[in-house]
Amino acid sequence: MKTLRNVVEACKGQARIFEAVIASVVVFLAFSTASYLIYASESILAQEAVDLNRLSYNVLHRIVESGVIEETVEEDLQNGVSHLKIVVQGLLPAGVYFNLTIYNCTGSLTQPYSGSLNIGNAPTGVFAESEEVISTSTMYTSKRGNIYYLVLKLTRV
Amino acid sequence: MHSYEYIFTAVIASAILTASSTIAGIISQPSINVSEGERVKIVAQKIVTQLTLNPGNPPEWGSAVKISPEDLTAFGLAKYGEATRGTYVLDPDKVQRLDANIPQYLYIPPNVAVKLLGLGVEYGLKLEFIPVLDVNISLRSGGVYIAVSSDQSMLPIVNAKVVARLFYLHDGGVETDLKNGTTDINGNCDIGFDRVDSDALLVIVVDYYGICVVKTYTLNCIRAYFIGNQLILNEQLTITGSKAYQVVVVKSGETYVIDYVQCNLTQTSPLTYDVTYVEPSAIALLAVADDGTTLVAAYKDVPSSYGSTPRGTLPFTAYMLERTVMIGGSLYTLRIYVWRVIL
């Protein structure tokens, strides 16, 4: 015959089982949610950066292959920079902010970056605030023998 | 523990397992969606690389008209050269063979391209070729208006150099008229031609600080196709003297030049002629037919779109990528859409 003590002991055992079950569910949910949030966002950013990187090299390649630097920066000193901005804008898809810096490395070896110019279409602070900004660069020697170091930064709107 | 406690524990454990699998399914559904989206992005990036940097196999499939879609073992649009190879330079003949208007035995159907790209039936693909500069030509009495604007912003392109050459039929032969101009503050350039009303082919080169777009415009000409070393006619015609003129666009110094060279034709079938030698920068072929009464114009045309879906019906899940490519001396934006087909 069961005593009152036995019944109380049995209830304590069931309560422990319930505690364990609830704890397991909570731990499982916590891990699942955390892993989902972490891996999914990382993956998205990685793919976007890969594409921007390739796009950036594509644009840099086109700028140097088409002789754009010669015809804008070297030929037309007055309006060359604004024309260069239109050209770069035309080579990029809509919804991409860019910042192109061209360092003139010709001449002095002790001060290689003697002159630089900067063009872009991004509002102030966009690159600082954006989660994914890529930067690519290339060296280029123009037909006149000037050496340029081009740095193109891109981010999506 | 008593036996009923063991039974109760087993029931709870089963319930946990069932609930866990259900919850895992619910939670991982967005994750699956994200990974599918990511897979589409990866696929799109692979395709754009394949199309722009790989010539396909056989590598000369664009110009070799004997190569049919069934002979292709890999699909790529990059220009193939024995000695040189440019990055992001596409073969105009390969691009032409994506145009549904060309003779059907030369056309590469989208399902063949999709299959060769390894996409199968799971993915949809669409390509768009958009000139970097939008060049509109309109005729006026004694000349042409050329309006140049930016493809994206539609803003007028100011101070672009324009070279225009008119090839027209005159006294049974081909005459030419070469003019130069610059776009004004509205992006317009007005060029006068005396014989703009006759059978003619107008070739226009717009150069905006290194960004070049070549455009052709025909007036009353018989349209033909110029693929590889072949002139392909739509109707049976007799080419006068078996001669033709190749129109070439080359950069000489800082400016573009539109020139032409004469070449011989050899008839290989009622509708096809072989060109003895094709200039690498040839963009069009002109021939006089029917005893000097007709001008036949064959030019390398770039289709505006190509893909496995009709124009304008893209699913909202389509992922888009863009690259700037050179096709026959012109700069284009190649836009690629890839999406997962729900089966």
pLDDT band per the 50, 70, 90 thresholds, residue B150 = confident
DSSP string, B30-41: HHHHHHHHHHHH
Summarised one tens digit per residue, pLDDT across range B232-247 is: 998 888 888 888 999 9
pLDDT for the residue B284: 94
**Spatial separation of the C-alpha atoms in residues A75 and A71, rounded to whole Å:** 5
Report the pLDDT value the prediction gives residue B95, as an integer from 0 to 100: 95
Listed by number, the residues of chain A in 80-99 with a beta carbon closer than 8 Å to a beta carbon of chain B are: 83-84, 86-87, 89-91, 93-94
pLDDT, greater one: A37 or B319: B319
pLDDT of residue A23: 81
**Complex ipTM tops 0.85:** no
Pairing state between β B319-327 and B89-90:
parallel
**Alpha-carbon distances of B77 from B53, B98, B104, B325, rounded to whole Å:** 7, 10, 19, 11
pLDDT digit of tens for each residue in chain A (157 aa)? 566 677 667 666 777 778 877 887 787 787 777 666 655 555 555 567 888 898 999 999 999 888 888 888 887 667 888 889 988 988 888 889 999 999 888 876 666 566 788 899 988 888 888 888 999 999 999 888 888 999 999 998 7
Binary contact (B45, A54; C-beta < 8 A): yes
Q: Distance between CA atoms of B239 and B287, rounded to whole angstroms?
A: 7
Handedness of CA B250, B141, B244, B108 (dihedral sign): positive
Looking at chain B, the whole-number percentage of residues with pLDDT higher than 90 is 50
The share of chain B scoring above pLDDT 70, in percent, equals 93
Q: Given A14, A43, A91, which is nearest B34 (Cβ)?
A: A43
**Among A11, A50, A52, A65, which would you mutate to test the B interface (most chain B Cβ atoms within 10 Å of its Cβ)?**
A65
pTM of the model: 0.81
Tokens 């030019």 sit at which residue?
B299
Query: Mean pLDDT throughout B242-269?
Result: 90
Q: How far apart are CA B279 and CA B247, in angstroms?
A: 9
SS3 A56: helix
Q: Kindly list the residues from chain B whose CB atom is less than 8 angstroms away from the CB atom of residue A28.
A: 20, 23
Of B24-33, B213-222, B230-239, where does mean pLDDT reach its minimum?
B24-33
CB contact under 8 Å between A72 and B9, yes or no, is no
Task: Flag if B150 and A89 touch (Cβ within 8 Å).
Answer: yes
In this complex, the residue of B19, B28, B210 whose CB is nearest that of residue A71 is B210
The pLDDT of residue B279 is above 80: yes
Q: Do A32 and B19 touch (CB under 8 A)?
A: no
**pLDDT at site B12:** 77
A51–B41: do the CB atoms touch at under 8 Å?
A: yes
Mapped onto helix, strand or coil, the DSSP state of residue B184 is coil
Average pLDDT over every residue of B12-35: 68
CA angle at B181 for the pair B176 and B186, rounded to the nearest 5°: 135
Contact B28 A17 (CB under 8 A): no
| Cis status, amide bond into B58, omega within 30 of 0 | yes
B329 Rama sector, left if φ>0, alpha if ψ -120 to 50, beta otherwise: left
A21 phi, psi to nearest 5 deg = -60, -50
Instruction: Kindly give the interhelix angle for B3-53 and A4-65, rounded to the nearest 10 degrees.
Output: 0
What is the rounded distance in angstroms from the CA atom of residue B237 to the CA atom of residue B297?
A: 13
Residue B317 forms contact with A (CB below 8 Å): no
Residues near B131 by Cβ (< 8 Å), separated by ≥ 6?
A: B151, B213, B215, B330, B331, B332, B333
Mean pLDDT of B292-308: 89
pLDDT at B283 over 60: yes
Q: What is the CA radius of gyration of chain B?
A: 27
Which residues in chain B are contacts of A32 at CB distance < 8 A?
23-24, 27-28
pLDDT band, very low/low/confident/very high, at B177 (cuts 50, 70, 90): very high
Q: Specify the 3-state DSSP secondary structure of B18.
A: helix
Residue A114's pLDDT is what?
A: 63
Q: Tell me: the pLDDT tens digits for A3-44?
A: 667 766 766 677 777 887 788 778 778 777 766 665 555 555
Look at residue B240 in the predicted model and tell me its pLDDT. Answer: 81
> Contacts of residue A76 in chain B, CB cutoff 8 Å?
209
For residues B60, B62, B65 and B69, what is the CA-based torsion angle, rounded to 10 degrees? 100
Interatomic CA distance for residues B140 and B131, integer angstroms? 24
The pLDDT score that the predictor gives to residue A44 is 53
Q: Is the pLDDT of residue B203 over 90?
A: yes
- Please tell me the predicted confidence (pLDDT) of residue B206: 95
B103-112 per-residue burial string, b: 16 or more CB within 10 A, e: under 16: eeebbbebee
d(CA A55, CA B322): 8
Vertex B156, ends B155 and B158: CA angle to 5°?
Answer: 135
> Tell me, what amino acid is at A123?
P
Q: Taking 80 as the threshold, does the pLDDT of residue B100 lie above it?
A: yes
- Residue carrying structure tokens 């803003």: B155
Q: Is the pLDDT assigned to residue B178 strictly greater than 70?
A: yes
**B188-195: average pLDDT:** 89
pLDDT at residue number A59: 92
Under a CB-based contact definition with an 8 Å cutoff, are residues B147 and B205 in contact? no
Query: Is the pLDDT reported for residue B224 higher than 90?
Result: yes
Chain-chain contact of A90 with B132 (C-beta, under 8 angstroms): yes
d(CA B89, CA B78): 6
Residue type, B121: V
Query: Quick check: B201 and B216 in contact, CB under 8 A?
Result: yes
**Residue in the structure block whose two tokens are 């049995």:** A10
Contact B212 A66 (CB under 8 A): yes
Residue B305 has pLDDT above 80, yes or no: yes
- Residue A115 parent element (H or E): strand A115-120
- Asked if residue B188 lies in contact with residue B146, where contact means CB atoms within 8 angstroms, the answer is yes
> What one-character DSSP code corresponds to residue A72?
I
Nearest residue in A to B12, CA atom: A21
Interface membership of A11 toward B (CB under 8 Å): no
From A110's Cα to the closest Cα of chain B, the distance in A is 32
Q: pLDDT-based confidence at B160, cuts 50/70/90?
A: very high
Within 13 Å and on the Cβ side, how many CA atoms surround B120?
6
Distance from CA of A105 to the nearest CA of B (A): 22
Cα(first)–Cα(last) distance of chain A, in Å?
Answer: 76
The DSSP secondary-structure symbol of B107 reads: -
Q: Cβ of A58 and B30 within 8 Å? A: no
- Give the pLDDT confidence score for residue A10 in this predicted structure: 67
pLDDT at A77: 67
Residue with more model confidence, B51 or B341: B51
All domains in chain A, ordered by first residue: 31-156 (3.30.1140)
In order, the DSSP letters of B97-162 are TT-TTS-TTT---HHHHHHHTT-TTTEEEEEEEEESEEEEEEEETTEEEEEEEETTT--B-TT-EE
> Residue B27: pLDDT band by 50, 70, 90 thresholds?
low
Distance CA B334, CA B325 (A): 7
